[in-house]
Structure 1
Amino acid sequence: MALVDNGIYVKGHRTGNPATLDETYELLRQRDGMAWIGLYRPDASELQSVAKEFSLHPLAVEDALTGHQRAKIERYGDTLFVVLRPARYIDTEEVVEFGEVHIFIGPGFVVTVRHAENPNLASVRRRLEASPELLCLGPEAVLYAILDEVVDGYAPVVAGLENDIDEIQDQLFGSDPHVSQRIFQLLREVISFQRATAPIRAMLEALQAGADKYHVDLELQRSLRDVLDHAIPVIERAASFRFLLENALTVHSTLVTQQQNDEMRSLSEASLAQNEETRKLSETALAQNEEVKKISSWAAILFAPALIGTIYGMNFTYMPELDWPLGYPLALAAMFVSGFILWRVFKRRGWL
């Protein structure tokens, strides 16, 4: 059954607890008081029954039935339609959980339609029933109490978000690799919270502006101003949280870029050092190669005379030109000429 709580109030006191919607309508006609009907996820037939009895606008009824509405206030003749997005912060998961409540306010009736457990309207009803002097001010007093409950519920959300943002600021300069993911997730929650809270200010100001026209009690007007005074800091804090997290993303991006630049600089310096070492090794290898060329050249130059001298130094009996008087000078000349030719060849090639 979608009917959660149902009461008939006369001069601020509860005088009836009808079990069905039809009984509620009948008692309301008999006692000429105020009906406060609390519905939780009603079906179309239940909501259409209420709409028919209190002449609710079809567009407002459609919004209340489908849910997933933004926070807003709309007036249809003598009926006021208000959508509120209460919130609570789940610190373990770092998420903001949003509820949704639709409120119809009209002459002699209040209809609340909830699509989530939050807010706890039972506590609001108990608080009002404990203050008959406030409840006797009519449906506007119920709207004030619900607004006050929702806005007060934003304070723990602000505290939870603020605590997590402080932790993120500490993480930001601690080289935590997961901080960017946490910033993105928290920024998403802050934006959703901002969307839920930002319309509250305009809604309360609109209620204040129409207070005289719709003869709202002066004391109730002061209470609405008090709710507005509590709502403004919440709205401003939500805006500042978004600004801080967007700046944190910028700072994180800058730090990551700087770290990457430092790593690239270190790699470049290491590469330069390696190149310098390679250059020195190459120079050493070239120098050694030049030395090898010189040694090899002189070895080849000396090899030809040594070969000739070795052949002629053999003690054979029969040897060409052994008894030839010019043999010795010719052998020396051959040694010199072969060495000179080799020296010229090596010199021309740059080995010497």
Structure 2
Amino acid sequence: MHCRVWKNGKLIGTEVARDKILDALRDPDHLVWLDLVEATAEEFAWIAEAFQLAPTEIEDITAPHERPKVTRRGTHLFFTTYSATVVDGELRMRRISGFVLPQGMVTVRQADFPIEAALRTWEENADLLAHGPRALVHGLMDSVVDGHFETIQTFDDRVEALDDVLFERERTGPDFLREIYGLRRDLVSLRRVVLPMREVVNALVRHGGRTDPDLDPWFDDLYDHVLRAGEWTDSLRDLVSSIFETNLSLQDARLNMIMRQLAAWAAIIAVPTAITGWFGQNVPYPGFSQTWGFWASVLLIVAGSAGLYWAFRRRGWV
């Protein structure tokens, strides 16, 4: 459990006894952030009882596969969202849920959720914390969206790398297709947490209580970032699909070229086959058992093969 307490935007404590946390959360002169890591429903029961949280909300903080969302109940908001990071080439998404109370915010997160980014955001914009819990929510969501941007940029670099080797015949084999498939799968997973952020930020603005002229521009900027992240994710997914389809088209074109080359060489080889097959029959023919007949057959083979080669060469078949 972690806790921070601010008064008039200034940090006054990072360690608060458990029996005093509830008093701090009810004190109108304080702003409190309480953070629980890997908390179970039983470990969260004392908070739920103190603020009369709904059983469905307690279930949502522990149930797997919850989608990003914001709901309002009574005097508090409940939210769920996901961070997205790439570690060793693998997409990892970690969940954080929370309750926005009149005098603070309580979060329940997975152990490896990157909460340090939110702490830095609050420290860099400490003057905003004087405006209450909405500032805490904004800092948390802003750090989450910034993480989405970094992840999307990583995927964008991978897409550019695929684009560079798309027209290189020797490098577009099974490994290339495996990379495309993995990237497309990760983008689909990322899209599931990026796109719902539009509704999350909208709901935070809509249900966040009275508007604040000092905070509203920050939420507007946050919403703009969310829109850009969603559009960027969609464009990358479309681009990966285009790369996959283009690769298939290139494979078909290369197969057609190979078939034409095989057909051309088969036609060229057919000339000496026809001539030697004819002269190889056990019947007399012009030049039979004569030196000039041998050279005549050689000349026909060379001339016929060269003529076909020249004709196919003009058409780009060989």
The alignment's TM-score, normalised by the length of structure 2, stands at 0.80
1:143 CA drift (Å): 0.5
Q: Which residue of 2 aligns with 1:119?
A: 114
Structure 1 pair 195/15, CA: closer, same or farther in 2 (3 Å)?
same
Does 1:241 find its partner at 2:236? yes
Instruction: Show the counterpart of 1:60.
Output: 57
Q: Which has the larger radius of gyration?
A: 1
Q: Distance in 2 between matches of 1:119 and 1:137?
A: 24
3-state SS of paired residue (1:281): helix
- The 1:285/1:69 distance shift into structure 2, 3 A limit, reads same
Deviation per CA, 1:282-304: give whole Å up to 9, x if none.
21123x4246xx99xxxxxxxxx
Equivalent residues of 2:72, 2:207 under 8 A apart: no
* C-alpha distance in 2 between matches for 1:30 and 1:183: 54
Q: Which runs of 5+ in 2 are unaligned?
A: 290-318
Q: Is this contact kept in 2: 1:10–1:31, CA < 8 A?
A: no
Cα distance 1:30–1:163, how it changes in 2: closer, same or farther (>3 A)? closer
Structure-2 residue corresponding to 1:141: 135
**Match in the other structure for 1:81:** 78
2:224 is aligned with 1:252? no
User: Residues 275 and 126 of structure 1: is their aligned pair in 2 closer, same or farther, counting only changes over 3 Å?
Assistant: closer
Distance 1:151 1:107 in 2: 24
Deviation string, structure 1 residues 227-263 (Cα, Å, up to 9, x no partner): 1122222211111100100000000001111112222
- Aligned pairs for 1:261-300 within 5 A: 261-286=256-281, 288-290=282-284
1:40: how far off? Answer: 0.8
Deviation at 1:63, TM superposition (A): 1.5
Contact 1:87 1:118 in 2 (8 A): no
| Equivalent of residue 157 in structure 1, options 151, 156, 162 | 151
Q: Cα–Cα, structure 1 residues 56 and 38, in superposed 2: closer, same or farther, change >3 Å?
A: same
**Which of 1 and 2 has higher RCO (CA within 8 Å, sep 6+)?**
2
**Partner residue of 2:187?**
190
Give SS of 1:219's match: coil
**Number of residue pairs aligned between Structure 1 and Structure 2:** 284
Measured in 2, the distance between the counterparts of 1:259 and 1:133 equals 62
Matched, 1:209 2:206: yes
Distance 1:76 1:234 in 2: 29
Provide the C-alpha distance between the structure 2 equivalents of 1:221 and 1:279, rounded to a whole number of angstroms: 86
Give a deviation string over 1:114-157, Cα, whole Å, max 9, x none. Answer: 1142322x453465367554223221111011011111222222
1:330 counterpart residue number:
none
Structure 1: 5+ residue stretches without partners:
296-352
Q: 1:332 maps to which residue?
A: none
RMSD over aligned CA atoms reads 2.6
Please tell me whether the aligned partners of residues 68 and 100 of structure 1 are also in contact (alpha carbons under 8 angstroms). no
Q: Deviation digits for residues 277-322 of structure 1, max 9, x if unmatched?
A: 3322221123x4246xx99xxxxxxxxxxxxxxxxxxxxxxxxxxx
d(CA) in 2 for partners of 1:155, 1:130:
19
Q: What amino acid sits opposite 1:241 in the alignment?
A: L
Q: TM-score, normalised by structure 1?
A: 0.72
Deviation at 1:12, TM superposition (A): 3.2
Tell me the amino acid that sits aligned with residue 119 of structure 1.
P
